[in-house]
Structure 1
Amino acid sequence: MDLIDPETLKAIQSIWAQIEIFFRSMVLPSRLWQFAIILGCLGIAHLGRMWLAPKVDDWARQHELSTRQMRAAILLRKRIRGMIFVVLAWISVFVLSEMSSFYSRRFLVDLAATLVTAWLVVGLITRLINNRFLRRIVTWGAWIYVTLHYLGFADEAASILDGAAIDLGGFRLSALAVLKALALTALLIAGARIVTGRATARIRGNEDISPSMAELVIKVMQVVFYGAAFFIGLKSVGFDLTGLAVLSGAIGVGLGFGLQKVVSNLVSGVIILLDKSIKPGDVISLGETFGWINSLGARYVSVVTRDGKEYLIPNEDLITGQVVNWSHSDEFVRIDLTFGTSYHDDPHEVRALAVSAAQSVPRVLKSRPAVCHITGFGESSVDYVLRFWIEDPVEGLTNVRGAVYLALWDAFHANGISIPFPQREVRVLGGSRLDVTASGENPQAGS
């Protein structure tokens, strides 16, 4: 059995013959001065870049540019040399075409101008792909294709790649089919990314859609678009998706046992979005964690605390655990403070001073009155509870408690109200003996 089939061998021989003819034609005088024109355009383009690049940098520094404008300026700066070369090359082609004696001797200049123009266009179009790895794959694939196309090697290269194939149970898988599938799938995924990105911005900016429903719509849209791009890319180049479905089913059963937690978190995330129990911006408490919801992910919820820490809490914990949502139905939150005063102080005055002190704090609501009640008679104080309301729990609870306590201290100090604390007295009775031990001696003293 031959290692290379006859059709592939014939294509390789054809390409090699064309390469030999091409290089032999390069030594002709008419081609040498075309090389000189191309090198001259390239040299002028390089000098032009050295002159223009600093000016672009200075212009960018002098103007307050947005992120998009800054990216455009950087993109322009990187391609100055290529753009100048394209302009000079096409001017050379036009001049040579106007000169009847040189009309048929502009092949190399025309080819160089066409190739560089195609490379620039590909580089600009692929900038629409945000993913860096995917953008590089598409860019290099497109550059190779346009180069082979304009050099006249596209059909032979396709024949060689199509000849490199394997048979999988009656299905022929060639290198050409794989490359087509990768290229088309990459383009479709890039298109899906652009569409979902813009749709996501519009959905999140729509005030008529609740945050939880917006996140659910975005997740479903991403799954549909990316899934459709993947399967359409495979189907369009002849892949049989029936076998893929059977294989994916078998793999899914195996992974299901090992990824129970992951699947549980995914399902819990969907349930959270559907029942709207929590949504971005809500203030929650879960165990020792207190903060506000920053984002809802497919596997976890991001909670940011007041000290700047970001906790990634699995969705399953929010479904199975006890979660305190301080802003589920509304933003109003009641806070209780406990304190005690001396038995010598009038409790009626204490209650009035406590309510007045709480209402003097800016974050305490005036529309919902604060109240103060006696909760018991302690060992050394009369115990009270002060209750007040706030409507901005996202701003923190400890700080507003501290502000109210400070207002209570100032009000009690100004009106002679004392806050007792436990005191202990030690008495030495007459006739008792006190033993003191020091440096191995045991002196005794009477008192």
Structure 2
Amino acid sequence: MDQEQPPQTMTDMFADMIAAFFIQAEKVFDLFVTPGWRQYQILIVLLLVALSFLLRLLTKNQWEAWARAREGWPKWRLRSLVQIMRRLTLLYFALLAWLVYLVMQQVTWPSRSYIIGIVATLATAWLVIALVARLVHNRTLRKIFKWSMWVYATLVALNLTDDVAGFLDGVAVSIGDLHISILGILKAALLIGVLLVLTRLATQAASRALHSNDDLSPSMQVLLSKAIQVSLYGIVFLVSIRTLGFDLTGIALLSGAVGVGIGFGLQKVVSNLISGIIILMDRSIKPGDVISLGETFGWINSLGARYVSVVTRDGREYLIPNEDLITGQVVNWSHSDRFVRLDLEFGTSYDDDPHQVRAVAIRAVKSVQRVLSGFGHEPVCHITGFGDSSVDYVLRFWISDPTAGLTNIRGNVYLALWDAFKAEGISIPFPQREVRLLKDEDDGSGAQQLAKE
């Protein structure tokens, strides 16, 4: 009977991998020193590199002029074109290498074009990886993805994947039934990276499709977009855990126990999350609405899972927790429509005719831009009382663009009233007081102030 061989140790696997690398390096060295078609193929590859550089110099200006004329193309296509033009040399080399390889496969022995085929495969893989890596926005992750894929493509082309995979799989930690190796971690990281990129692209496409659907309200668009995003990223998380080899049943029990403890410390966070869902579902607040909350007045820029972004006229952006919008009193200036009525109070002298004052005020406010003048939104002016120094009025008018500001429109209306009253001889009184000093009849040293208004 054959004796069962003992399993390889990590040192043995590392030695086997180094030996495989030396064998491949020896083969590459033989390509340069052994006369024959191997040297000819290397010479052909070098000539193709030189020809690719030459073609890039000759055609670069023509390609740039053609690219500038593509004004009607979408942004993603223009960005892809820019990335391709940055790699014209590699593109020309890949095309020329494949052309030479296919021709030599037909006119001579296949072994005489073997090296050219490997080089063409590597060039194509590097070009595709460089273009696909642009989908990863994070620069650090993009570099990691790019270099890892280039290394993997090179190992595949040189037929070294089995040796490297065997060594990486041997570097592992085993805890019970759980077996975590470097190879498994690398595979999981690659899978997670691809899934994250695909998830981001899918959520962006879904968000654009939802926002272009006029049948859905802005609140429902945000709610559906967040639901799709949470669902997809949740699937990626579960797949990642499963790929690493963890048992989901044990994690579920552990997460349930930990969740109870964490829940007490995250009550506000959970409250804001639930409040955000309620806001999206009841559509009481939506992006673009003009709201007032305490001292904050502005329009809603975006709805988040934890907070609402409110932009004021001075350029400040307030991040208001969702819970405050549910439990507090919020004035939504554009909940049912965007029409807003503003009231201005002023007073005129008792010598001025109230009928004339009202007519002049209405005519003045109609001359101000942004003030509406039409059925249901006509400016009106009413007497509100007889004051100590003036006849008091209230001027009411409507606007349809509260996001453009309220203080500025009030100021413009006041200026229009001032100019109109000056032109018509209408005076705006102010309180006058007369102070008299009377001698005290008892000791002659005191003073009594009497005010007459």
- How does the TM-score come out when normalised to structure 2? 0.85
CA-to-aligned-CA distance 1:258-296 (integer Å, 9 cap, x gap):
444333322221121122111011011122221111111
1:120 is the counterpart of 2:127 = yes
Bigger mean CA offset, 394-403 vs 148-157: 394-403
Distance 1:3 1:244, change over 3 A: farther
1:324 is the counterpart of 2:337 = no
Equivalent residues of 2:342, 2:398 under 8 A apart: yes
1:245 is the counterpart of 2:256 = no
Q: Post-superposition shift, 1:428?
A: 8.1
Distance 1:63 1:52, change over 3 A: same
Structure 2 unaligned residues grouped into runs of 5+: 1-5, 440-453
Match among 35, 50, 55 for residue 29 of structure 1? 35
Equivalent residues of 2:84, 2:131 under 8 A apart: no
Structure 2: distance between partners of 1:44 and 1:70: 27
Cross-structure match for 1:352: 359
1:410 is the counterpart of 2:419 = yes
Cross-structure match for 1:139: 146
Cross-structure match for 1:435: none
Letter matched to residue 415 of structure 2: L
Q: Post-superposition shift, 1:226?
A: 1.2
Structure 1: distance between partners of 2:220 and 2:170: 51
Equivalent residues of 1:374, 1:384 under 8 A apart: yes
Cross-structure match for 1:49: 56
Equivalent residues of 1:129, 1:194 under 8 A apart: no
Distance 1:5 1:62, change over 3 A: closer
Q: Secondary structure at the match of 2:343?
A: strand
1:151 is the counterpart of 2:146 = no
Structure 1: distance between partners of 2:105 and 2:70: 43
Q: Post-superposition shift, 1:141?
A: 3.0
Q: Secondary structure at the match of 2:246?
A: coil
Structure 1 unaligned residues grouped into runs of 5+: 431-447
Cross-structure match for 1:270: 277
Structure 2: distance between partners of 1:406 and 1:16: 86
Match among 11, 21, 33 for residue 16 of structure 1? 21
Structure 2: distance between partners of 1:40 and 1:154: 30
1:189 is the counterpart of 2:211 = no
1:329-348 mapped onto 2 (5 Å cutoff): 329-348=336-355
Cross-structure match for 1:375: 384
Distance 1:349 1:173, change over 3 A: same
Q: Post-superposition shift, 1:385?
A: 1.4
Structure 1: distance between partners of 2:8 and 2:332: 69
Q: Secondary structure at the match of 1:355?
A: helix
Structure 2: distance between partners of 1:78 and 1:260: 51
Q: Post-superposition shift, 1:165?
A: 0.7
Letter matched to residue 92 of structure 1: V
1:216 is the counterpart of 2:212 = no
Q: Post-superposition shift, 1:88?
A: 2.1
Q: Post-superposition shift, 1:69?
A: 4.0
Structure 1: distance between partners of 2:418 and 2:155: 83
Q: Post-superposition shift, 1:207?
A: 0.8
Match among 108, 116, 120 for residue 109 of structure 1? 116
Structure 2: distance between partners of 1:9 and 1:307: 65
Cross-structure match for 2:317: 310
1:157-172 mapped onto 2 (5 Å cutoff): 157-172=164-179
Bigger mean CA offset, 232-241 vs 207-216: 232-241
1:280 is the counterpart of 2:260 = no
Bigger mean CA offset, 89-98 vs 162-171: 89-98
- How does the TM-score come out when normalised to structure 1? 0.86
Cross-structure match for 2:83: 75
Equivalent residues of 1:372, 1:386 under 8 A apart: yes
Q: Post-superposition shift, 1:14?
A: 5.0
Q: Post-superposition shift, 1:189?
A: 2.0
Distance 1:171 1:103, change over 3 A: closer
CA-to-aligned-CA distance 1:37-64 (integer Å, 9 cap, x gap):
2222112222333343344444445664
Distance 1:339 1:13, change over 3 A: closer
CA-to-aligned-CA distance 1:352-382 (integer Å, 9 cap, x gap):
3323333343422422233322223322212
CA-to-aligned-CA distance 1:222-269 (integer Å, 9 cap, x gap):
000111122124325643222333443454345434444333322221
Q: Post-superposition shift, 1:339?
A: 0.3
Q: Post-superposition shift, 1:2?
A: 10
CA-to-aligned-CA distance 1:62-113 (integer Å, 9 cap, x gap):
664653343123211221011111122223323433443x642322222111
1:392 is the counterpart of 2:401 = yes
Q: Post-superposition shift, 1:301?
A: 1.3
